[in-house]
Structure 1
Amino acid sequence: MRDLPKHQGKRRQLVCLLKEKGITSTAVLDAINTVPRHLFLESSFEDFAYQDKAFPIAADQTISQPYTVAFQTELLELEPGEKVLEIGTGSGYQTAVLCELGAKVYSIERQHELFKKTKSFLSRYGYRPKYLTFGDGYLGLPKHAPFDKIIVTAGAPVVPKALLSQLAVGGRMVIPVGEEVQVMTLYVRTSTSSFDRQELGEFRFVPLLEDKN
């Protein structure tokens, strides 16, 4: 598939919709307008790629709806050059948005089938996260910590303590917490031992899986 003028036009329409829904960050909206979401989906979904909906991808996972991607990304308040830990690489769409914003992205994917496919795909289209690995997102990446920002793209029944410990002081973590329905939760690390916590509405995500191997 290619990125054609018709796709670019649909992205502009999507950006207008996201503005109507309350997304205000120009940088985030520009990234959504730039990243060709249709390339991250199976060809059968191409005509629907710029609807504000989630769609299935490999390994019984989903690509999040654009509003969710924009909402989580905006909460990060990302600055170019910051280290970002992404839990759940998935299709790579969120990864690409973070790369577009100039982040140094470290990403973990639990599903090996998806990891191999997405790693190849991102490289092919010029998106180069700093570090992409197959592993257990609950554990984070302690050898690369601390991270300025952490984003979790699957529903966690509890907040993994390992992720909180890997967040830099002053850093922000965005994580959907819950079982059937998740509450989008923002943690800001205010010192080595304290965090501010804010709940920001209900969402639905696929579950964050633990490595049982």
Structure 2
Amino acid sequence: MNFEKARFNMVEQQIRPWEVLDQDVLDLLMTVKREEFVPAAHRELAFADVEIPIGCGQVMLKPVIEGKILQALRVTKSDTVLEIGAGSGWFAALLAARAEWVRTMEIEPELVKLASANLERNGVHNVVVVDGDGVQGWSGRAPYDVIVVSGGLPFVPQSLLEQLKVGGRLFAFVGEAPVMKARLITCEGEGRFRTEDVFETVVPMLKNAPQREAFSF
């Protein structure tokens, strides 16, 4: 397989046509080698417009979705980032290429090992993979400039919003199948947030995603 040609086609035929026009994002997707983070059994799908199974019932998101997230977040070199759902480590590697540092949380021990090994093998040293449930965030290094939730949530927990700096951005997939909102939330001031729904999609729910309390009568 010609990986470089497949990578070029991914960017030019999938991602750019879906209105990902930020050249820095497109260059990043051309530079960080996605095939290095895909399980060997599915390596031929590294650049396909599909979700790729990585074990534990989890998947790598479609490349077009990853491009849209990066474009919306506008990560800069001074940003500190919390990612919830490390998966294979691929998206953490993309974030790390733009940010000062990334903490990525993963609840599945098997995926903690996978992400850590992939990041180490590819020389990504400004990412720490944290073994634990990240649904409520991680106060240990809060507040953050950027928080990315890589799985679905019925709603965004207040605890996550409280871990954003003023000016910070949170990206999450909110709602339930068949349609979720890919939502960008910006902290405009103490306790003040602006919400923008960037696009619609559906992704696997985050494990241990919080549930709204049922009304009782």
The TM-score with structure 1 as length reference comes to: 0.92
Q: Displacement of 1:59 after TM fit?
A: 0.8
CA contact (8 A) 1:38 1:45 kept: no
| CA RMSD, 1 decimal | 1.7
User: How far apart, in 2, do the equivalents of 1:70 and 1:209 lie?
Assistant: 23
2:34 is aligned, of 26, 33, 37, to: 37
2:16 is aligned, of 16, 19, 40, to: 19
Q: Displacement of 1:66 after TM fit?
A: 0.4
Match of 1:112 in 2: 109
Match of 1:48 in 2: 45
The TM-score with structure 2 as length reference comes to: 0.90
Match of 1:125 in 2: 122
Match of 1:165 in 2: 162
Number of aligned positions between the proteins? 208
Q: Displacement of 1:78 after TM fit?
A: 0.9
User: How far apart, in 2, do the equivalents of 1:54 and 1:188 lie?
Assistant: 28
Match of 2:206 in 1: 208
CA contact (8 A) 1:12 1:33 kept: yes
**Structure 2 unmatched runs, 5+:** 211-217
**Structure 1 unmatched runs, 5+:** none
User: How far apart, in 2, do the equivalents of 1:64 and 1:38 lie?
Assistant: 13
**SS at structure 2 position matched to 1:154:** strand
User: How far apart, in 2, do the equivalents of 1:42 and 1:208 lie?
Assistant: 20
User: How far apart, in 2, do the equivalents of 1:55 and 1:103 lie?
Assistant: 28
User: How far apart, in 1, do the equivalents of 2:193 and 2:209 lie?
Assistant: 27
Counterpart of 2:46, as a letter, is A
**SS at structure 2 position matched to 1:86:** strand
Q: Deviations over 1:12-67 (max 9, x none)?
A: 11111211111011111111101211122222322221112211111110001101
Counterpart of 2:145, as a letter, is D
Alignment of 1:146 with 2:146, yes or no, is no
Counterpart of 2:49, as a letter, is D
Q: Point out the structure with the larger strand share.
A: 2
1:186 is aligned, of 184, 187, 206, to: 184
